Structure 1
């Protein structure tokens, strides 16, 4: 009975707040509309400057092929490399393609030649991917020239071998980065809302003085913490449902696996982040302190969760730290269920890890709550 009245109090406090219900609805909607488009590591519209010392038919065909690829924007053709380099320094070019003077002659005589690529690597990802895209186009152009020289003959020279590679992309055939990001953004939204709201709950009662009224009642610490967890557990389910609906309506994204498996893991994960929020709230004296501490942990957890960069690309010491990050496990679960259709037996490692986090943090929230009579 005490739990019933405590839950009634929590829900009334939440509904009477004019800001929190609106934030719980609007934040997922806005972030699901914007973040999948903004958090995109695909590199497009790379500004290209060409230094064409050859001015031949072959070099012009190469420039046309690069320009029509859809990855590059031809910003200019410079007479010298130094002039093109100044454009890079001013930000008017990202990559320089330098074609030598004997480009056409060497291609006709030997079938081989050299070209120069210079990439602005202030943005390392853009420089690396831009160079990779351009190298692929150059290799494709070389293959076209070889076919042209042989008159489309099926007989290859005895000293030359060629392979035709046909890639098959599993789970995300269109290589759409948004499909990869949307499930992880859902986890981030649940983490922010189901983590920050409990973190501000108990400490707000401390500031308002209502916690003293609870402390003089016969309510036990486990019942009190449970009454704090259940409302935000339901809030987390609401946010997840809203995100799944928007992923379908806006991006046409439907999980390849079971929705029940998603909700099962979410029920455990929400307890994890809500428990962490309550632990921080128990140790904080003011709402400002709770917000800063929660923001500190959230920033680290999100950046080291694999949301933007693969965990396998991190240093070994950083990969060890990510084993203590619950976001890592739930993001893995969401991406694998959405894209690969993974089932519960295939996700046992993540299940045990999240259950462990839930037990530890929820238990810590109960122990750290200081009830004084």
Structure 2
């Protein structure tokens, strides 16, 4: 019996000319565009530089800043007020002012004054731009101190701390390596959550659900036949995403592919069941679409996909524990970046199995046959 029900589901899917194209084109668009657009890296920051000292040391500092790939020098105005006008007009993002007497103060062993003023309307851009600029200035000061080690000036006796930074798991801080695994989670959620949500309610509107209701097909068999096609579609979509991540970005998981597929099967079981729950309680396609959009938007934003969970308020961090996407995002990043296995992901495995049981049990119980 279930064989014919699954065959019916596939015929319904491929009878719609839009859905097969969506299954193929949507992963391509997400994997091609999102890693470039959904990036928190800040580049091409427009900078105004005010060099009030005009000394060799100040000019070297200006050259150090201009050599950075993060900044794009917009102008070198003579005064702070003129630079501030550029910020107010939106043509500059940050002002770097080198005070008069910069070199003289340095040679005396004092602390030369450098002012960084950032436009914080865009807090991310302003904060990270200021951090980049401060790092360049600090590095320049350390370089000057090293050059003066053999010179008998007070600065040579100043204590200095050598800092070595090792970035574990992502040594080059490649943002795409961080985002691509999480985008795969979003991709599976959108396709394998939204399509089942439209399935049962679509049959309600078409009237074909009545033909199922008068048959001896059990609720468990009916729901299982609805889920299996979307498991297979999800695995195809995941394989396409793997291929694109390798071809476009050279990204492959450090861990084993089988670990990813194992957790993906559980997650597809989970998210498809959730979609059927929404479909069972919806009366029209529009209602199912809006309800699913509402939940997917909240689940994605609270999953740690774009922003770290530990950066959220305490109440928001508590809410994320009932978000299944949180656990699958952790799984994907652990396998891709750290090479973790199933033994390292037992808490996530337990949470995903629990959510899968709850949503699929709910889907079976909420489907009511009417004869």
Q: TM-score range by the shorter chain?
A: over 0.9
The 1:253–1:152 alpha-carbon spacing in structure 2 relative to 1, beyond 3 Å, is farther
Match of 1:39 in 2: 38
Question: 1:241 aligned to 2:239?
Answer: yes
- Count of matched residue pairs: 369
Match of 2:230 in 1: 232
State how 1:1-373 maps to structure 2 within 5 Å: 2-151=1-150, 157=156, 159-373=157-371
After TM superposition, which residue ranges in structure 1, 4 or more long, deviate above 4 angstroms? none
Q: Compute the displacement of 1:67 (Å).
A: 0.5
2:339 and 2:57 map into 1 onto residues whose CA distance is: 48
**TM-score, normalization by structure 1:** 0.97
RMSD: 1.3
1:292 and 1:202 map into 2 onto residues whose CA distance is: 15
Q: Compute the displacement of 1:163 (Å).
A: 2.5
1:246 and 1:303 map into 2 onto residues whose CA distance is: 24
Q: Compute the displacement of 1:225 (Å).
A: 0.5
The 1:152–1:178 alpha-carbon spacing in structure 2 relative to 1, beyond 3 Å, is farther
Q: Compute the displacement of 1:90 (Å).
A: 1.1
Query: Which region of structure 1 is more displaced relative to structure 2, 107-116 or 251-260?
Result: 107-116
2:147 and 2:246 map into 1 onto residues whose CA distance is: 47
Query: For residues 215-258 of structure 1, what are the alpha-carbon distances to aligned partners after superposition, in whole Å with 9 as ceiling and x for unaligned?
Result: 01111111110110000011111111111111111111111111
Q: Compute the displacement of 1:111 (Å).
A: 4.2
Q: Compute the displacement of 1:152 (Å).
A: 8.0
Q: Compute the displacement of 1:151 (Å).
A: 3.9
Query: Which region of structure 1 is more displaced relative to structure 2, 192-201 or 6-15?
Result: 6-15
**TM-score, normalization by structure 2:** 0.97
Q: Which runs of 5+ in 2 are unaligned?
A: none
1:339 and 1:99 map into 2 onto residues whose CA distance is: 41
Q: Compute the displacement of 1:150 (Å).
A: 2.8
2:261 and 2:145 map into 1 onto residues whose CA distance is: 55
2:12 and 2:90 map into 1 onto residues whose CA distance is: 53
1:60 and 1:151 map into 2 onto residues whose CA distance is: 23
Q: Compute the displacement of 1:149 (Å).
A: 2.5
